[in-house]
């Protein structure tokens, strides 16, 4: 049996006090000291363990925030003093896209590396914005050709980056057609650069080390090289340098140890690619296209110009950049993918999609919509207990104290998160009956879209859907 | 013994001798409604009443005025007891002339919405729907309008929550409640097997011993006996103590085959194949190690404390022909049993349903993507397979088009929370529904989602921990469910009466009686 992709993980507990969803509030100073809450009601012993929490002033609030929300103490309190409320700190996490639920589940996965499992059915909105308006399909009885039947250990999450030759020319046993460089990574994910407003110098080494541990590739701004405390021979195969238009070329001996590079999109794209390939013929070069108003068309045009990898990037909430009525990354991926198919260029180019990829299902859904792989950055930052509060300028105001983190903590948390994402991708692919992530790309037959389901189910019953 | 079992033949003719010998007298349970008050000291209420003790002169006017008995001052006591806020109607009392807040001569009373309403429940099961279900479980009736509970819909902004009935000002025909029939037939194949008819258009979904406690399973079984319907064993095997309920049990054959034996298949009138579950389609069952106690492990013939993940799919079924072999196998082992096939809702659910019909199933059970579970990966709950609201009309219409609709019973689950959801599902094309979460809520579930790990449900419902399970008394649990069933049935009768429809069967596929808040509702196509 070939070696399986496996990420070694171990729990990395949080450094900061946990922020739970709930808080138990004692709202009248009238306690009978009956200890009902302590002795009987709380099956999790939260009240009984009060003294443990009080010993550490930093985490004294955790007593309340570790509450599981079962209402048992509230309903058994002799004097009806207790109230279960939503923790205001919890509600302040993130923003309208990066919801508190997303932040909290990311923290949990970065801590444990486990797939979040819970009881009771789904309690959220029926459908929603962006990736929440689609479902993945699954395989029931009548698909004898499905390929997930042998079990999850046979599912490959690997994808290729680069130009795939559509055919080979052979002379006897010898391949005579030119072969483009191509590289494989073990899951459809690359680590993007952390946006400047969140960036801290020490994060670069952590991200690169995480890429090595997970077998992935991290994008690093070429202007930052050399990174401190980094073993070049070990790390360069997992680094893809990003060359801004004004960035100087790196020395040949550095560049030749990398497998992928990314360049900023400008008028000189072709000459930049030629320059890189001249130094290192085996390198795969991606062009980063910001998804502004003309972004989709630009990506399509670049494919026509034989660019082998295009990295389309929306803003961090997955929205078209600078638009009054922005499209979402899901829809932009679909447009690019469909256009490339119509132009007969889809298999010539690798599409990396970034921006708004916040949960593992977004990775799978992004690929289903037509990307070959996705890029992430903020989830890794959130994994370090970041609140996405945007107060990074002054380290004193950072509630996660990210400037104080150690390498082992940062790498451990990021590795755990990527491992949990990988396991969840396998869950989804197993349910879909898919054995190869390469085949997931653009397979909308394994996806269901809100608009389509509504039309099919309700259009004939209720007429036309009203515009929002 | 249920009458339907002996319609066409005697039990001794169709049950093997060994199995017949083990048959025990069947439990009798009436459907009498009795109060089943909340089991916690402080019931969660929509409103809370606050009394300023310094201002209050203990005149007792509030006690006399409140028809609900919210305020309590026992004879001989100087101070008031804690108000029974969960009985309070709130500001609606102002219109009725019994508003204690304005009537208090000292202005000592204050009312406010309970801040806990925000922390109880979720979008699909909002706090008011949970409180209303608790009222039904307590009294056997839907809560009075005065409570102002909006329990007919949740806040999910889609599916059933955006669909409404188009109630006419006056029904086209005036019907008395006793003229309305809520029963449904489960065998429409006329294949010589029992013509089972249940009195209410639902039966209890599969919940294994392991996912829920013994007491919870028995409570469900007793409610099923009382209302002449069914409960299901789930995947965890058929407990010995369930024998007195054999005639109202469905035994489940799922991919893990836990506790499945010829003898357990022969004992019951319905056998259910579980191909997939709505909460985790394509993934197989999950029982995490903490809940695999000695008793559970013994039942499932596994090792204590090991997490149990059922395979997916049945590795002996990769086609409808294989499915037919499975059905034939069960039909051969139990010559009286009806076969139910439980599937989730992929894109080709209509093809699956027709295929299953052609394979010989009597009941097609669709479990939608938002269905309940004792444990499932969060990524699966939200993202795999379609919600049941889409699947029902799709399957119904396809069965109609294939000419098979009247030979098979279509039941739906995965998000059926209240009697309105039942009626909407039927109007969209189902014959009936399967319920699960509602029963848990009736027993006191607050949807804290903690049933999966550790000792399990802190409320004592979905747990195998003996101490936690002891929080529920069997008599009380059964009565809560019997009461809730009664409230649901009454509400469904009321819906049918307002629509002028004589029976649940007549409601099937009457989507012309529905409207969707997000649509023009200008085109209405009636698929009978």
Q: Where are the domains of chain B?
A: 176-516
Please answer yes or no on whether B458 and A116 come within 8 Å at the CB atom: no
Output the pLDDT for position A200: 81
Q: Give B-chain residues touching A367 at CB under 8 angstroms.
A: none
- The closest alpha carbon to B42, from A84, A300, A340, belongs to A84
Among candidates B283, B414, B458 on the partner chain, residue whose Cβ is nearest the Cβ of A68 = B458
- Asked if B523's CB is within 8 angstroms of A460's CB, the reply is yes
Confirm or reject contact between A138 and chain B (CB < 8 A).
yes
Task: Choose from B38, B39, B42 for mutation: most chain A CBs within 10 A.
Answer: B42
Res. A240: pLDDT tops 80 = yes
Rounded-to-integer distance, Cα A373 and Cα B202, Å: 45
**Residue A145 pLDDT exceeds 60:** no
Find chain B residues with C-beta within 8 A of A428's C-beta.
Answer: 379-380, 383-384
Greatest mean pLDDT among A169-183, B285-299, B489-503: B489-503
A153 touches chain B (CB under 8 A): no
Assess A68–B contact: CB distance below 8 Å, yes or no: yes
What is residue A2's predicted lDDT score, i.e. its pLDDT? 67
Min Cα–Cα distance to chain A from B10, Å: 36
CB contact under 8 A, A118 and B450: yes
pLDDT at B422 over 90: yes
In whole angstroms, what is the distance from residue A195 CA to residue A207 CA?
A: 13
CB of B525 within 8 Å of any CB in chain A? yes
A147 pLDDT tier (thresholds 50, 70, 90): very low
DSSP state of B269: S
Interface test with A, best of B50, B113, B234, B377 (most A CBs within 10 A): B377
Q: Judge whether residue B8 has pLDDT over 60.
A: no
**Long-range contacts, A245-250 (Cβ 8 Å, 24+):** A247/A221, A247/A222, A247/A223, A248/A222, A248/A223, A249/A275, A249/A276, A249/A279, A250/A222, A250/A225
B467 contacts B133 by C-beta, under 8 angstroms: no
Average pLDDT, chain B: 92
Rounded-to-integer distance, Cα B39 and Cα A214, Å: 51
Which chain B residue has the Cα nearest residue A144? B318
> Which residues in chain A are closer than 8 Å to B48, comparing Cβ atoms?
none
8 Å CB contact of A431 and B281: yes
Residue B54 clears pLDDT 70, i.e. is over it: yes
Spell out which residues of chain B touch residue A143, defining contact as CB-CB under 8 Å.
Answer: 348
Interface check for A59 against chain B (CB to CB < 8 A): the answer is no
Sequence-ordered alpha helix ranges (H) in B262-319? 262-266, 294-300
What's the whole-number mean pLDDT along residues B355-369? 96
Whether the pLDDT of residue A123 is over 80: the answer is yes
Q: Do B313 and A140 touch (CB under 8 A)?
A: yes
Tokens 């608790």 sit on residue: B134
Q: CB distance B119–A135 less than 8 Å?
A: no
Number of H helices, E strands in chain B: 18, 17
% of chain B beyond a pLDDT of 90? 76
Domain B176-516 class, CATH top level = alpha beta
- Residues from chain B that touch A65, judged by Cβ atoms under 8 A, are none
- Touching B: A residues 348-367, CB under 8 Å: 359-361, 364-365
Query: Mean pLDDT throughout B415-435?
Result: 98
Q: Which of B119-133, B158-172, B364-378 has the lowest mean pLDDT?
A: B364-378
- pLDDT for B493 beyond 70: yes
Share of chain A above pLDDT 70, in %: 91
Residues of B in contact with A115 (CB under 8 A): 377-379
Q: Is the pLDDT of residue A146 over 50?
A: no
CA angle A133, A424, A386 (to 5 degrees): 80
Mean pLDDT of B371-388: 92
Average of per-residue pLDDT across B433-452: 95
Confidence of residue B528 (pLDDT cuts 50, 70, 90): very low
- Give the closest-approach CA distance of B512 to chain A in angstroms: 7
Question: Cα dist. B312→A14, A250, B155, B254, B410 in Å?
Answer: 35, 51, 33, 9, 23
- A397 is written with which tokens? 């105001």
Q: Is the pLDDT of residue B7 over 80?
A: no
| CA atoms lying within 13 Å on the CB side of residue B227 | 31
Q: Cβ of A135 and B385 within 8 Å? A: yes
Do B300 and B333 contact (CB within 8 A), yes or no?
no
Strand segments (E) across B106-196: 109-113, 163-165, 184-185
Cβ neighbours of B351 in A, within 8 Å: 142
> Does the pLDDT at position A47 exceed 60?
yes
Decide if B309 touches A, using CB distance below 8 A. no
Is residue B498 pLDDT above 80, yes or no? yes
What per-residue confidence (pLDDT) applies to A248? 93
Q: Cβ distance B417 to B129 under 8 Å?
A: yes
User: What are the CA-CA distances from residue B279 to residues A330, B183, B283, B374 (Å)?
Assistant: 24, 28, 9, 9
Is 60 exceeded by the pLDDT of residue B525?
Answer: no
What was the pLDDT predicted at A26?
67
pLDDT tens figures, A108-119? 999 999 999 999
Q: What is the pLDDT of residue B82?
A: 87
pLDDT tens readout for residues B280-322: 888 888 888 888 989 889 888 889 988 888 887 787 888 889 9
Burial category of B47 from C-beta neighbours within 10 Å (exposed 0-12, middle 13-18, buried 19 and up): buried
Residue-range domain boundaries for chain A: 22-92, 152-453
A152-453: CATH topology is TIM Barrel (3.20.20)
Please determine, for residue A43, whether its predicted confidence score (pLDDT) is greater than 90.
Answer: no
What is the mean pLDDT of the segment spanning B401-417?
A: 97
Q: Closest approach of chain A CAs to the CA of B138, in angstroms?
A: 16
Q: Residues 80..99 of A with a Cβ closer than 8 Å to B: which?
A: 80, 83-86
Question: Does position B365 have pLDDT exceeding 60, yes or no?
Answer: yes
Q: How far is A259 from chain B (nearest CA, A)?
A: 33
pLDDT at position A23 is 81
- Cβ B377–A116 below 8 Å, yes or no? yes
Looking at every residue in chain A, the average pLDDT score rounds to 90
Q: Are strands A82-86 and A22-26 parallel, antiparallel or unpaired?
A: antiparallel
What digits encode the pLDDT tens for the residues A70-107?
Answer: 999 899 998 888 889 999 999 999 999 999 999 999 99
Span of A56-65, A269-278, B152-161 with lowest mean pLDDT: A56-65
| Pick from A116, A126, A138: CB nearest B346 | A138
Q: Which of B379, B516, B528 to mutate to test the interface with A (most CBs of A within 10 A)?
A: B379
d(CA A424, CA B301): 29
Q: Which residues contact B295 (CB under 8 A, 6 or more apart)?
A: B209, B464
Answer whether A13 touches B (CB < 8 Å). Answer: no
Query: Which chain B residues in 48-77 lie under 8 Å from chain A, judged by CB atoms?
Result: none
Q: How many CB pairs under 8 A join A and B?
A: 276
Percentage of residues of chain B with pLDDT beyond 70? 97
What SS3 state is found at B516?
strand
pLDDT surpasses 50 at B151 = yes
Query: What's the pLDDT tens digit per position in B218-233?
Result: 999 999 999 999 999 9
For residue B477, give the DSSP letter: H
Rounded mean pLDDT, B147-165: 96
A26 touches chain B (CB under 8 A): no
| Cβ-Cβ contacts under 8 Å for A264 (sequence gap 6 or more) | A242, A243, A244, A245, A287, A288
Measured distance between the N- and C-terminal CA atoms of chain B, rounded to whole angstroms? 35
pLDDT-based confidence at B487, cuts 50/70/90?
very high
User: Can you say whether residue A80 is alpha, beta or left, with left for phi > 0 and alpha for psi between -120 and 50 degrees?
Assistant: left
Complex ipTM value: 0.92
| Cβ neighbours of A433 in B, within 8 Å | 282
Q: Do A85 and B159 touch (CB under 8 A)?
A: no
Strand, coil or helix: what is A229? coil
Q: Which CB contacts under 8 angstroms, 24+ apart, belong to B228-232? A: B228/B2, B228/B198, B228/B199, B228/B200, B229/B198, B229/B199, B229/B200, B229/B202, B229/B203, B229/B204, B230/B198, B230/B203, B230/B204, B230/B269, B230/B270, B231/B203, B231/B204, B232/B203, B232/B204, B232/B205, B232/B206, B232/B207, B232/B272, B232/B434
Q: Out of A21-30, A198-207, A345-354, B252-261, which region has the weakest mean confidence (pLDDT)?
A: A21-30
For residue B509, pLDDT beyond 90: yes
Give B407→chain A minimum CA distance, Å.
21
Scanning A218-294, the segments in alpha helix (DSSP H) are 232-235, 252-255, 269-279
**Closest to B435 in 3D by CA, of B232, B214, B268, B255:** B232
Among B residues 134-173, those touching chain A with beta carbons less than 8 Å apart: 156-159, 161-162
Which of B378, B387, B451, B466 should be substituted to probe chain A, the one whose Cβ sees the most A Cβ atoms within 10 Å? B378
Mean pLDDT of B390-401: 97
Q: Which of B360, B380, B466 to mutate to test the interface with A (most CBs of A within 10 A)?
A: B380
Lowest mean pLDDT segment, chosen from A77-81, A372-376, A444-448, B205-209: A77-81
Q: What is the mean pLDDT of residues A130-154?
A: 70
> Which stretches of A125-268 are DSSP H helices?
201-214, 232-235, 252-255
Handedness of CA A221, A222, A227, A233 (dihedral sign): positive
What is residue A144's predicted lDDT score, i.e. its pLDDT? 38
Digit-coded pLDDT (tens) for A389-408: 987 766 678 899 998 999 99
């Amino acid at each position: 049996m070939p070696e399986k992709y496996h990420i070694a993980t171990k729990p990395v507990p949080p450094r900061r006090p946990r922020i739970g969803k709930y808080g138990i509030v004692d709202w009248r100073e009238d306690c009978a000291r009956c200890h009902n809450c302590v002795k009987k009601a709380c099956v999790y012993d939260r009240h009984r363990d009060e003294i443990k929490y009080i010993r550490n002033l930093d985490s004294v609030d955790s007593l309340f925030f570790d509450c599981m929300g079962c209402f048992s103490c509230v309903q058994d309190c002799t004097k009806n003093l207790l109230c279960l409320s939503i923790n205001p700190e919890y509600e302040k996490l993130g923003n309208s896209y990066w919801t508190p639920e997303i932040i909290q589940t990311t923290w949990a996965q970065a801590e444990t590396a486990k797939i979040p499992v819970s009881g009771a059915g789904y309690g959220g909105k029926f459908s929603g914005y962006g990736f929440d308006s689609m479902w993945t399909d699954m395989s029931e009885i009548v698909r004898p050709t499905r390929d997930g039947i042998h079990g999850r250990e046979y599912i490959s999450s690997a994808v290729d980056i680069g130009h795939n030759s559509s055919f080979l020319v052979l002379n006897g046993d010898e391949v005579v057609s030119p072969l483009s460089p191509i590289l494989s990574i073990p899951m459809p994910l690359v680590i993007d650069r952390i946006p400047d407003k969140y960036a801290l110098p020490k994060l670069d080494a952590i991200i690169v080390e995480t890429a090595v541990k997970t077998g992935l590739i991290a994008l690093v701004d070429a202007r930052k090289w050399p990174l401190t405390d980094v073993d070049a021979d070990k790390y360069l195969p997992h680094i893809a340098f990003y060359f801004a238009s004004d960035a100087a070329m790196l020395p040949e001996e550095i560049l030749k140890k990398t497998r992928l590079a990314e360049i900023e999109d400008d008028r000189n794209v072709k000459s930049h690619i030629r320059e890189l390939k001249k130094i290192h013929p085996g390198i795969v070069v991606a062009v980063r296209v910001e998804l502004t108003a003309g972004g989709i068309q630009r990506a399509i045009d670049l494919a026509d110009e034989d660019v082998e990898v295009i990295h389309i990037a929306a803003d961090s909430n997955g929205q078209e950049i600078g638009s009054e009525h922005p499209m979402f990354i899901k829809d932009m991926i679909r447009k690019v993918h469909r256009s490339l198919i119509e132009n007969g260029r889809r298999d010539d180019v690798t599409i990396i999609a970034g921006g708004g990829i916040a949960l593992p299902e977004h990775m799978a859904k992004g690929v289903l919509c037509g990307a070959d792989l996705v890029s992430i950055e903020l989830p890794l930052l959130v994994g370090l207990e970041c609140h996405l509060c945007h107060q990074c300028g002054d380290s004193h105001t950072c509630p996660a104290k990210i400037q104080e983190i150690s390498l082992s903590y940062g790498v451990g948390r990021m590795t755990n998160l990527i491992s949990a994402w990988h396991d969840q991708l396998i869950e989804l692919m197993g349910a879909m009956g898919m054995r190869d992530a390469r085949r997931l790309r653009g397979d909308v037959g394994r996806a269901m879209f809100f608009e389509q389901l509504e039309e099919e189910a309700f259009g004939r019953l209720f007429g036309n859907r009203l515009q929002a | 013994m249920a009458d339907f079992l002996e319609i066409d033949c005697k039990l001794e003719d169709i049950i093997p001798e060994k199995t017949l010998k083990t048959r025990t007298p069947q439990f009798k349970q009436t459907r009498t409604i009795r109060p089943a008050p909340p089991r916690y000291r402080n019931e969660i209420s929509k409103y809370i009443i606050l009394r300023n003790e310094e201002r209050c002169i203990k005149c007792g006017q509030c006690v006399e005025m409140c028809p609900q008995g919210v305020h309590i001052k026992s004879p001989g006591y100087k101070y008031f007891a804690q108000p029974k806020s969960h009985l309070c109607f709130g500001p609606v009392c102002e219109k009725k002339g019994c508003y204690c807040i304005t009537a208090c001569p000292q202005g000592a009373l204050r009312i406010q919405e309970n801040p806990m309403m925000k922390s109880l429940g979720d979008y699909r099961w909002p706090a008011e729907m949970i409180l209303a279900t608790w009222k039904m479980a307590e009294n056997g009736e839907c809560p009075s309008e005065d409570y102002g509970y909006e329990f007919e819909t949740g806040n999910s902004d889609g599916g059933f929550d955006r669909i409404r009935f188009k109630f006419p000002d006056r029904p086209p025909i005036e019907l008395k409640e006793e003229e309305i029939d809520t029963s449904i037939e489960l065998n429409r194949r006329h294949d010589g097997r029992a013509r089972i008819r249940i009195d209410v258009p639902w039966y209890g979904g599969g919940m294994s011993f392991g996912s829920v406690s013994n007491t919870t399973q028995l409570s469900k079984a007793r409610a099923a006996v009382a209302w002449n319907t069914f409960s299901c064993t789930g995947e965890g095997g058929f407990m010995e103590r369930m024998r007195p309920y054999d005639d109202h049990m469905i035994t489940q054959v799922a991919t893990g085959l836990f506790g499945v034996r010829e003898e357990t298949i022969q004992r019951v009138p319905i056998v259910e194949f579980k191909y997939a579950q709505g909460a985790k389609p394509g993934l197989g069952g999950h029982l995490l190690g903490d809940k695999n106690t000695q008793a559970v492990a013994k039942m499932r013939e596994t090792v204590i404390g090991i997490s149990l993940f059922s395979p997916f799919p049945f590795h002996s079924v990769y086609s409808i022909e294989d499915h037919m072999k499975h059905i034939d196998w069960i039909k051969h082992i139990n010559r009286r049993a009806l076969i139910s096939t439980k599937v989730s809702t992929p894109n080709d659910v209509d093809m699956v349903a027709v295929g299953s019909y052609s394979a010989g199933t009597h009941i097609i059970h669709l479990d939608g993507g938002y269905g309940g579970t004792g444990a499932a990966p969060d990524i699966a709950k939200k993202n795999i397979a379609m919600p049941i609201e889409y699947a029902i009309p799709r399957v119904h219409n396809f069965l109609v088009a294939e000419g098979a609709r009247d030979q098979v019973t279509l039941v739906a689950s995965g998000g059926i929370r209240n009697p309105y959801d039942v009626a909407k599902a039927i109007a969209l094309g189902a014959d009936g529904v399967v319920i699960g979460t509602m029963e848990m809520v009736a027993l006191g579930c607050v949807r804290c989602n903690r049933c999966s790990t550790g000792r399990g449900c802190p409320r004592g419902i979905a747990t195998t921990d003996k101490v936690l399970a002891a929080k529920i008394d069997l008599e009380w649990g059964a009565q809560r469910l019997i009461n809730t069933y009664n409230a649901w049935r009454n509400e469904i009768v009321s819906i049918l009466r307002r629509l002028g429809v004589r029976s649940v069967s007549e409601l099937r596929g009457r989507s012309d009686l529905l409207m969707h808040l997000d649509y023009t509702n200008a085109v209405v196509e009636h698929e009978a």
